[in-house]
Structure 1
Amino acid sequence: MSPWRSTRWERGNLPTGDEPAGGPDEPVTIPAGPERRHEALVSVRLGPSAPGSHLVEYLRHEPCAVAAWWIAADVDAVVRLSADSITVLHRAVADLRRRAGVEVVVAHHILRALDLDTARGSAPAWAEPAA
C-alpha cells in the first residue's frame, strides 16, 4: 500500500457485510454508501521541502479530497475535504500535515450552504436597489 493512502478501514469505508449472490467469479456490487455530510475548507501553505507537485499527487490519492485550488494570497492552496464522519474529516486534515508535508494554516468546517436563490419579492429591504 502506498504511504500516501490510509486503508479503507481508517477512512470509514467498512464492508457492508453483504455477500455477493453469485460465486467467486461474479462481480461484487456495493450499494451506495451514506451521503458525505462533513466537509471542511482547509487553507495550506507549502513547507520549504514540499513542492507543489507533491501536494497535488497526495490529493489525487486522498479519498476525502473533493477539490483544490491554487491561491494567490497568504496561503498557497485551499483544499475541500469531505467525509462520512467528523472523525475521518479530522484525520484527513491531520494527514495533510503529516503526509503531504504542508502547513495547515486554518481549517473551516462547513455547516450548510447559503441559499442564494431567493425570489425578488422575498429579499430584505436593505438588499432592494434604490429607485
Structure 2
Amino acid sequence: MTSRWSRWPEPEPAPDGVPAGDEPERRHEALIGVRLTAATPGSHLLEYLRTEPCAVAAWWIAADLDAVVRLSADSLTMLHRAVADLRRRGGAEVVVTLSILRPLDLSEATPKKLATSA
C-alpha cells in the first residue's frame, strides 16, 4: 500500500513476516535552490560539490538562482547536515529546499482523448 507521502509502496510481507522481494534502497533526497553569496565565486561551489558525498547532481541556472543541487543521503539527519554544509562550507545561500517524495512514471501512455460531441 502506498500512502500519499511515501516514496515507494510498502513491500508485501512474506509468510515469515520478512518483506519479500528486492525492496529499493530508501534514501532521502532533496533539490536545493542556491544563490551564491557575493563573496563566493562559482568555482568554489563547484569544487565543494565535487567533494560532497551527498551531492548527486547540480545544474547552473539562468534565473534568480545560481544553481540547483540534488542531494541524497541515507538518513534525514545526514540530508539536513549536507544542506547546512552547502551553506557553511560551499558558500551558498540556500533559497529553497524541496524534498523529493517519489519519481513520476513518465513511461505510461497518455490518457485517451476525450470524445467531443459536435
Where on the TM-score scale, by shorter chain, does this alignment land: which range?
A: 0.7 to 0.9
- Give the aligned residue type for 1:64: C
Shift in alpha-carbon separation, 1:118–1:63, aligned structure 2, 3 A:
same
Asked whether 1:54 is paired with 2:44, we answer yes
Whole-Å Cα distance in 1 between the matches of residues 67 and 46 of structure 2? 10
Partner residue of 2:35?
45
Partner residue of 1:118?
108
List alignment gaps of at least 5 residues for structure 1. Answer: 1-33
Q: How many residues align?
A: 93
List alignment gaps of at least 5 residues for structure 2. Answer: 1-23
Residues 39, 110 of structure 1: 8 Å contact kept: yes
Residues 66, 82 of structure 1: 8 Å contact kept: yes
* Structure 2 length-normalised TM: 0.72
Runs of 4+ more than 4 Å apart: none
Paired-residue identity, %: 73
- Give the aligned residue type for 2:59: W
Say what the alpha-carbon RMSD is for the aligned residues.
1.9
Asked whether 1:100 is paired with 2:95, we answer no
Residues 45, 76 of structure 1: 8 Å contact kept: yes
Partner residue of 2:64?
74
Partner residue of 1:84?
74
